Structure 1
């Protein structure tokens, strides 16, 4: 198995990565995870702790070495290079079954598996789903762990517990320290044991960099239009005409979990919709993932200012941008203001900092497929 630090050094030498002292300071922890996995057996899953040992907070002395491989929880501000380090981690893990996946996407897969387990009549629906994940994967690399959905919050603790018992090692990034996950969420007291589990089974490290590596990139052709521009509507129409060409646009119907999700205009793998078409309806991560997989470029008209008055729509917009970002979909949009000024106060404004940073990155000329 390679080292993350070696890959980092190679990328610095070839100019792919700009060296950052904060990033370099966490490379030994990433290397440590891979070295521990090399040294620990993977064939025998860890045994769960007995009830009294769990109560006392101590481990099982008879547990196999695989149970002793601590994962890593890497948190810090937006644009600090966490996702890039996760990519390097996945690239370096050549000797073990590993998977690098966005946390939202993974939890959607888990919820689908739970539905199937419940239909089979399984009393503990989480356990067989987690065991199936462990059967295929020893190292899970999650990007952007954040928990806002109560359905995820209520099962994630049990899910991770079984994954750890099965010897799965988890490395994840997040914009929040563990204690701030699912903050102010409904029935949060039921979620708190998961925070203890993270602290017990994962090394928590803050990536404390002063540099936002998503800013200051070379600007390409304008793809974000605000009222300050001379004719934002006309610019959007011109972009649409250029991307679609002579192909006739039609609505696109996507079937997601037995329901229809419509994109109002679609041609040449380019879609166009208004903000309210996509975020004013009760759509979720699975819908946005399906949409992101169907297009190479997406035009969104009329993104408003976001606040508590349209909180649900703002949450959906954040989820939509996450899906587009992960799929590297080219985004062209007209909005009430620049990304950093769309959502400046009230509940949800902290989480939107990451979205604003992603929206800024997605304006780069090299972004996406279109």
Structure 2
């Protein structure tokens, strides 16, 4: 995939084309959701006001100011949305991107994995040069899975902040606890604390909206039902689950989005528990790309909440796995509707 495409595609995914702050429906029982909307509206106005004023980072410093000019100089330069999966963090992050008054080529939106892939494609200095002219960088699903990513992203964000780029990120982990359970985070505490210093944290509480008020996850389809859906749905793919997992091992995760572009549905037979953590993490990335594109997943075999073993669900990547289960279950619901049409 050409590096130019990686940059041009750093926009909210199709599922979030039409989202705005006004389309976010806060849970009345969770005031932190309404508070996050207002805080992000203010943040967007500060970035937009900076653009109209033709200034550097002044608008951002005013928004984050705590205790005068000296505090403003060291104030966080971004906002960090922390909360469980399914509380609408990506919706709000995409809404911030849409609301910020800057041309699309001056604001970027991508997952943490896509950002690290961009550095791999362009090189560090070229990435700084490319993103350094942006008004806003939105990073979805911020995670640190290895020490190399910690040092890389810490250095990148520091350079971008120095050039006046506003930052916004979502994650299921507080910035000061990134990396816990994955590697010896204590050995990289300085880098992790440096990342945390770039952000003001907004905690968003709530239940997974994808299952709020909905019935339990649908039972898996039969293999014959999956085959019927595959043959009558335009643009549908049809694979056995083990074959899909084997193919993912031969494709770089940065290309998973291109892999499913243009599909009408992803039909799977023989779904079962994933065999190891490397396979599981590749499946998490695919689940995100399927969810971004709103692709129904008619599937037979085991239900998606049985994909990851207990050891995985209790380990350092558990939040990734729960997010994948949540998203795949939602897509399986759409797949079941296709089968019933």
Q: Structure 2 length normalisation: TM-score?
A: 0.74
Q: Deviations over 1:149-189 (max 9, x none)?
A: 55533411111111111111111111111233222334645
Q: Are positions 1:106 and 2:115 aligned together?
A: yes
Point out the structure with the larger helix share: 2
Q: Where does residue 323 of structure 1 map in the other structure? A: 289
Higher relative contact order (CA closer than 8 Å, sequence separation 6+): 2
Q: Where does residue 23 of structure 2 map in the other structure? A: 11
Describe the SS at the equivalent of 1:305: coil
How far apart are 1:143 and its partner, in Å?
1.8
Match of 1:25 among 21, 35, 52: 35
Equivalent residues of 1:157, 1:193 under 8 A apart: no
Describe the SS at the equivalent of 1:330: coil
Q: Structure 1 length normalisation: TM-score?
A: 0.69
Equivalent residues of 1:83, 1:143 under 8 A apart: yes
How far apart are 1:85 and its partner, in Å?
1.2
Describe the SS at the equivalent of 2:173: coil
CA distance in 2, matches of 1:91, 1:44: 21
CA distance in 1, matches of 2:336, 2:175: 31
Shift in CA distance, 36/133, structure 1 to aligned 2, threshold 3 Å: same
Point out the structure with the larger strand share: 1
CA distance in 1, matches of 2:39, 2:263: 38
Equivalent residues of 1:343, 1:352 under 8 A apart: yes
Give 1 or 2 for the bigger CA radius of gyration. Answer: 1
Q: Deviations over 1:19-46 (max 9, x none)?
A: 5433102123213322433454665579
CA distance in 2, matches of 1:368, 1:44: 50
Q: Where does residue 183 of structure 1 map in the other structure? A: 180
Equivalent residues of 2:269, 2:299 under 8 A apart: yes
Shift in CA distance, 42/164, structure 1 to aligned 2, threshold 3 Å: farther
RMSD of aligned residue pairs (Cα, Å)? 3.5
Q: Deviations over 1:104-153 (max 9, x none)?
A: 22322221112xxxxxxxxxxx2332121122x21112222123255533
Q: Where does residue 352 of structure 1 map in the other structure? A: 321
Equivalent residues of 2:238, 2:267 under 8 A apart: yes
Match of 2:198 among 170, 191, 201: 201
Describe the SS at the equivalent of 1:331: coil
Q: Deviations over 1:208-241 (max 9, x none)?
A: 22x321114768xx9x653xx6xx1111111112
Equivalent residues of 2:269, 2:300 under 8 A apart: yes
CA distance in 1, matches of 2:109, 2:44: 14
Structure 1 residue runs of 5 or longer lacking an equivalent are 1-6, 47-59, 115-125, 244-267
Equivalent residues of 2:143, 2:178 under 8 A apart: yes
Q: Are positions 1:89 and 2:96 aligned together?
A: yes
Equivalent residues of 2:102, 2:135 under 8 A apart: no
How far apart are 1:349 and its partner, in Å?
3.4
Q: Where does residue 148 of structure 1 map in the other structure? A: 145
Equivalent residues, number:
298
Describe the SS at the equivalent of 2:276: helix
CA distance in 1, matches of 2:182, 2:266: 32
How far apart are 1:319 and its partner, in Å?
1.4
Q: Are positions 1:78 and 2:89 aligned together?
A: no
Equivalent residues of 1:302, 1:336 under 8 A apart: yes
